[in-house]
Structures are given as C-alpha cells and as structure tokens.
Chain A
Amino acid sequence: MDRSNSFNHSSENPSLNQRNSDVGYSTNDRRLAYSRSFQQSHGPRTPAAAAAMVFSSGEAAKPFLDRTVSSIDMPPEIYFGDGNEELFGEGKEKRGEVSVLRLVLEIFRVLRSGSRQMKRLSLLISLNVAYSTVELAIGLFTGRVGLVSDAFHLTFGCGLLTFSLFAMATSRKKPDHAYSYGYKRLEVLSAFTNALFLLFMSFSLAVEALHAFIQDESEHKHYLIVSAVTNLLVNLIGVWFFRNYARVNLVYRKAEDMNYHSVCLHVLADSIRSAGLILASWFLSIGVENAEVLCLGLVSVTVFMLVMPLFKATGGVLLQMAPPNIPSSALNKCLRQITSREEVTEVLQARFWELVPGYTVGSLTLQVKSGTDDRPLLQFVYDLYHDLGVQDLTVQTDFS
C-alpha cells in the first residue's frame, strides 16, 4: 500500500515533520501513525561512536538518507523530552515511591502536557467513568441487577484504559538506574493486558450465550437497551478518536502503536457488544428464536478473532521472541557473512529480541583467532546488523 511512500516521506523531509503535537493523521498514511520528529539516528552504533555517548543523554545526529534510516531509530538515550525532564527525570529515585498527592499532581501535569492521543484517551476515560457511575447509581437505587453488572463491566474497562493512559505517560520517562532499558515496555504490557481482558470478555460472552441457551429465558429488559445505546455511542466516540488504529492486523512501528491499537480494539469490542445486545433485543421483539444466543455467540467469536493478532504480537514481544519483522533468513545470512570472515572461527551465540516494536536488541558471541585486531571486525558486525535494524548490539569476542 502506500506504506512505503509515506515511510520515505518521513525520512526525507524531517523538517516537515517537526511538529510538536502528536501527528495522528498524516495525509499519506492513515494506518501507520508515526508521530514525531524522531529523525535521529547515528548510523551504526560502533564502539567508536558509542564511546561518545554517555549512558543518560546524547545528542541528535543528523539523519542521513539511506534505507537504514527510519523514524524508529531510537537509542534509549534519546527520548521525547516533552518538558518532562523536570517531571520524570529524577535520576536514581528509589523504586516504588508513590504518594497520593504527588500522583494527583502528576496526573494533572501529564494531562496538560500530554500528546493528542493521551488527551483523547483521558477524555474517553472520564466519559466512561461518568457513565458507569451514573449507571451504577441508577441500578442500585432502582434495584436492577442488569444495570449493576453492566456498570461493573464498564468499570473494569475503565480501569484498563486508565492503565493504558498511565503506560503512555510513564513510558516517556528516561531510562534510570533500575530500568536500564527505559519504560517503553510498559506500553506493550498495557496492550497485552488489554488484549487479555478482551479475551476474558469474549469468553464470558460465550458463557452468557450458553447460559441463555440453557435457561432459554427471553425477557425483554428494555432498560438495558437504553444503557446499551448510550454505551454504543460513547464507544463509537472512542473508535472515532482512535480511528487510525481500527484494523485487525497492524504493523507496529513503535511502542505506542501497540498501546493505541489495544485501546482502539477495546472500545471497538465494547461497541460491538452493545450493538449485539441491541440487535438481540430487536430480534427478540420481532420474534426470532434464540436471538440472544446467536447474537452473543457471534459477538464473542468476533471479539476473539479481533483480539488474537494483537495478543499474539504483544505476547511475542514479551516472550523475548526474535523480532517478527526481521526474517530468519536475513539473520542466517548475517551469521554466514560473519563466519565467512577469516578471523572468525565460529559464532557461539546469537540472540535477538525486541524491547518494543521497532527497537531490537541483540547479543552476539564470536570466537575469533587470537591475536587479531577486533576493531574492524566489530565495525563490520555493527554495520551488518544495523542494516537489519538492530539498534542495540553487544558483541563479545572470545579469543581462542
């Protein structure tokens, strides 16, 4: 599709993309929401170049135009410092130190300075919270169990979305002492949790369908329809906010992609569920037999199919799987090229994993003949793997 065009577009015109806010909708590409002026790559991170970089912060090098440059080259030193240094850059803070007041203040600061998607997500969350509180109150006062259960379901969903928001905010922190790779993994984690919850939801819908099938009660609870319609509207607003990510199979280029995708799928699944309920009651009013079973079953299967690719992708990242965008043949080819060099006896160990989509970490152990100068070899290896997109490589050379 037009993915490749927009991709080159971004790397060739860094100035055009120097926007402060999150670019969710570029005119070329609606599927890949790459965001910022991250056009920083230093070429292969050779030892010589790496020596210039200190652990905590570095400088942006000029982007140069070859196919290895991508907007996803982010060495951990360089983070989107949105004025968050004073907020989050606390260096060696102790782990797990949280106080409620600080949390509240941070929340407000984050909301004011957050990216566009974050603001939308917080709006969505507040809508959901308001709605579910109202529903819970009404359900409790009028004694309708259906409303209460719906409110609980919404509250769980809100909790998850809040965790996604928290992940978005926290992932901007710079890497610190305890988290040497930074906090970007949190986004993948929140995407995984969202996917897991959606799988639970699909399973529970299946159970509900079974329940309806066994009990065969088709009571027409019309108050539930009102709540379903409102729920549908609120979730459709959410889908509109995240419409860029409303696909099942998405290519993930950055960490945020997974998070946004999971949020979008969450609201999408919720709206499908509400739509299913509305459809079921409409069918019942027409007089279709077993309408509830059919609709709930259909919704359950749909949500399951919707969520599975995201679940597998996030699970793969969390399981330290080799990066899916680098085919094994390419890795094998690199290994062959390394072993074909005369000073290398064998490759003892070659492991690659993705920290977040788009950032690959690798560690190699080579056995080289003693007495050889390893500097050109290291440069060669770094160049080789940089072409593949491995940003962080550690090469150990054992002299036999």
Chain B
Amino acid sequence: MKEENHEHKHIMGGHNQGHGHEHEHGHMVEICGDISSGETSLGGIKSCGEAPCGFSDAKTSSMDAKERAASMRKLLMAVLLCAVFMTVEVVGGIKANSLAILTDAAHLLSDVAAFAISLFSLWASGWEANPRQSYGFFRIEILGALVSIQMIWLLAGILVYEAIARLINDTGEVQGFLMFIVSAFGLLVNIAMALLLGHDHGHGHGHDHGHSHSHGHGLTITTHHHHHHDSNSSHGHDHHSHQNTDELRLSESLLEKGPAAENCQGNEIKLEKQRNINVQGAYLHVLGDSIQSVGVMIGGAIIWYKPEWKIIDLICTLVFSVIVLGTTIRMLRNILEVLMESTPREIDATRLEEGLCEMNEVVAVHELHIWAITVGKVLLACHVKIRPEADADMVLDKVIDYIKREFNITHVTIQIERQ
C-alpha cells in the first residue's frame, strides 16, 4: 500500500522541480508524506510504541543517525585540520620566539575546544533514552551549542583585552608586520574550515522534520550564508530568487496535503538550508574567527604602514568583535527559545487552537503547551473538552490526525475531557 503512494508522489515531485537531484528530495518528501496515513492504521496505536519512547521509530532514527554521522565526520575533519595547524603554529612560534604567533595558536586551541564540544554534543545526542532521561539526549545539542556560543563571547572579550594590552605595551613596528602575517595565516585556516563545515552536498540531508517547519528565519543566517551557499549549493543561483517567496508561503501555511507541488519545492529548499545546530555553532565559531582575523589583519597592515596610529588596532578589534557578536545573536535567540520551552516560531498556536475548536465535538481547548526538545522536534500537550455525547476515541483520532497533518507534530499527548 505504501509503494503506490511512493510512486504517486514521485511523479508529482518530478514535475515541479526540474532540478538534477530532485528525486532524492522527492524521496524525502514521500516518506514524510506517508507517515500520516500509515501510522493510524497500525492497529489503533496512536503514539509511538514502547514505554520510554525516546522519539525514535525506525525511519527517523536511521535518518537521524545518518545525518548525525555526516555531521560528525565533518566536525572530525575540522578538528583534525585545526589540530594540525595549531601544532604548526606552536612549533613556529616557539622557534621564532614570538608571542603573537603563540597567541594565535591559543586561539586555534579554542577552536579545537569548540569543535570538540560540538562533536561531543552530536555524539551524545544519539544516546538511547532511559527512564530518567525520558526524552532522550537531544537537548545536549542545544546545551553544547550554548556553551560554544559562550566561548565565542568569551573569546571576543579576550581579543578586545589583548588589543588594549597591545596598545599599552607598544613595542615598535615589528608588531604590525607580524600581526598581518599571522592573522592572514589564521584567516586562511578559518576559510578552509568554513568551506569544510559549510559544504552541504545535495544528498546530505537526513532531516525528515525539516520539511514542514519553516525554519527560514530560524536557524540559518541568511545574511552571510548567501556567499557560502553559492559555492555549495548544487542547485545554482536561481535558488535564491524563489527562496524568499517559498519561505513566505511556508511561513503562512504549514504542510498541507493539497498543494503538494509547493511543498516539494519548499521542502527541497528547507532541507538544503537546515543544518545541524552543532555544525552551525562550529561554523559560526569559525566565521567569527575569520572576521576577527580580517580585523587584526587590517589593524596590522595599518600599524605596519603607519606605526603611530596604534589606536586603529583597538578600534578595528572592537568593531569586528561587535560584528562577531552580532552573528551569534540569532542562534542564541533560538537556543534560548528552546531552553525556555517556548512555542516554536514556526508553529502558530492560535491557528491550531482555532482549528481544533472548529471541530464539531470539541467544546474547548485548554492547557495547550507546544515546545521543542531540540530544533525541529516538537511536542504538544493539551486538554480537549468534548461534548458529553461524543465518542472520545474518535475525537482523539481526529485531533491527533489534524495536528499531525496540519502541523506535523507527531508527539502529542491529548487529554480528552467531557464537559
């Protein structure tokens, strides 16, 4: 029964995209589209299985694992690359007896630490759920991302302090040239790692939850991701032109069964832009480092050219630190919203409540709580009051189906109360 549905959607998907990779994405859409029809026929079990459910059924856990493995591979390569560069810098710094090079090596060490944190969080989020940790360990991703953002902030502060220290202990023109060279090297390393981390292949997406949530303004930082997406996206530049319109469409009306065409196209774009939050954190870290390297380079060049304008160094560092902090704001906001158990941005709770109340048997909905365990995995709990004569089982089915269909929230707990 499922196979026919597969075929059907496949053809639909093929028509509307006309891109090279589309049947892979079509696959993703199909699988997700089928879940809603498949699950309710599983002998009337409406929730997902065993007692400590832990968010996994066979499909999602394997896709999760694949995606996690891909992200881990990327981060592992980045860590190794960083470590290699760091040892090179340390050796060179000790040989040349230069404090500046050693300081830069320390910054690379902090990069390694940030990647290690991201790697650990990625790995830990795959641990099995247990009765004490009934939702699994997905939150560790978020906490790890928080820790690495704190580190970014800390490092920005340290860099500003170093600029001030440099200002106070001025030791001549040698500083300018050395600063320039060292930061140029650091910039190259960071760019290499940014390319490594940001390089999304066309088939790298394992998210099945990505397709319905309009994360357009959520995770991805569209301002400067545009540069990098050009080099990475296998779908070319025309991608961006219909990106915005699709985001708007998706942000108004989440996944509906009718216009499957828009969904396919929107989903493909969604899948492309969504990254694991830890890889994103590492990417941000590297980006911040390269921005700051640019700042130090400019400062070094100016000091080299005109040694008496030392204050420029401090001003440059301050400006670029502020820029770096600005890039982290959006991710920090997402992290904070998840940790505060707030309603995810892409879910319109009012619409959900209204949609539920529109049903005949439903009198009222209260105690509605929608929250995310991590970006992309949403849970819902509410109390639904129904008419005394209505059939509780049928209403439960209807409600669960509606929520799953309209908002793609699969982990729901609905308490049916009679008036």
Contacts and interface: CB of A to CB of B under 8 A. Distances in A.
Interface of A: 47, 50-51, 53-55, 95-96, 140, 143-145, 148-149, 152, 156, 177-181, 183, 185-186, 189, 193, 196-197, 200, 315, 318-322, 328, 331, 346-353, 355, 363-365, 367, 370, 374-375, 378, 392, 394-400
B63 interface: no
A47 B385 CA distance: 9
Given A320-B373, A322-B131, A348-B47, A185 B150 contact: no
A397 B416 contact: yes
Contact of B339 (A47, A189, A396, A398): A189
Contacts, number: 164
Contact of B157 (A50, A96, A156, A397): A156
Nearest to A189: B339
B282 to A, nearest CB: 18
A349 B412 CA distance: 11
B392 interface: yes
Given A143-B168, A180-B369, A394 B385 contact: no
Given A143-B168, A363-B413, A328 B349 contact: no
26 contacts: A55-B366, A96-B333, A148-B161, A148-B164, A148-B165, A148-B168, A177-B349, A179-B341, A180-B341, A181-B342, A185-B341, A193-B150, A200-B154, A318-B143, A319-B133, A319-B140, A322-B133, A348-B51, A349-B48, A365-B47, A370-B393, A374-B416, A396-B414, A397-B392, A397-B415, A398-B396
B132 interface: yes
Nearest to A201: B154
A375 B342 CA distance: 30
A119 to B, nearest CB: 25
Contacts of B46: 396, 398
Given A193-B150, A320-B139, A363-B413, A349 B47 contact: yes
A152 B162 CA distance: 11
B340 A145 contact: no
A394 B367 contact: yes
B38 interface: no
Contacts of B45: 348, 367, 398
A70 B125 CA distance: 35
Given A196-B147, A398-B46, A400-B44, A152 B168 contact: no
Nearest to B129: A351
A375 B392 CA distance: 12
Interface of B: 44-53, 131-135, 137, 139-140, 143, 146-147, 150-151, 154, 157, 160-161, 164-165, 168-169, 333, 336, 339-343, 345, 349-350, 366-371, 373, 381-383, 385, 392-393, 396, 412-419
Nearest to B164: A148
Contacts of B367: 50, 55, 392, 394
A178 B342 contact: yes
Contact of B132 (A53, A322, A396): A322
A328 B139 contact: no
Given A145-B169, A321-B132, A400-B44, A355 B341 contact: yes
A200 B369 CA distance: 35
Nearest to A314: B143
A190 B382 CA distance: 29
A327 to B, nearest CB: 10
Contacts of A193: 150
Contacts of B143: 315, 318-319
Contacts of B52: 349, 351
Given A178-B342, A348-B51, A321 B133 contact: yes
A322 B417 contact: no
Given A180-B371, A319-B143, A394 B383 contact: yes
Nearest to B151: A200
A319 B137 contact: yes
Contacts of A364: 413
B131 A145 contact: no
Contact of B383 (A50, A96, A322, A346): A50
A177 B350 contact: yes
Given A315-B143, A328-B131, 8 more contacts: A50-B366, A51-B385, A185-B339, A319-B140, A320-B135, A320-B373, A349-B51, A397-B416
A197 B381 CA distance: 35
Nearest to B160: A152
Contacts of A319: 133, 137, 139-140, 143
A183 B165 contact: no
B384 to A, nearest CB: 10
Contacts of B350: 177
Nearest to A139: B168
A227 B202 CA distance: 58
A104 B394 CA distance: 53
Q: Which 9 A-B pairs have the closest CB atoms?
A: A351-B134, A363-B413, A47-B417, A399-B393, A394-B381, A319-B139, A322-B132, A179-B342, A394-B413
Nearest to A317: B339
A149 B417 contact: no
A149 B166 CA distance: 12
Given A51-B385, A180-B371, A322-B132, A395 B339 contact: no
Given A177-B350, A319-B143, A400-B44, A152 B414 contact: no
A331 B130 CA distance: 13
A212 to B, nearest CB: 16
A184 to B, nearest CB: 9
A283 to B, nearest CB: 26
Contacts of A349: 47-48, 51-53, 413
A396 B383 contact: no
Contact of B343 (A47, A178, A374, A398): A178
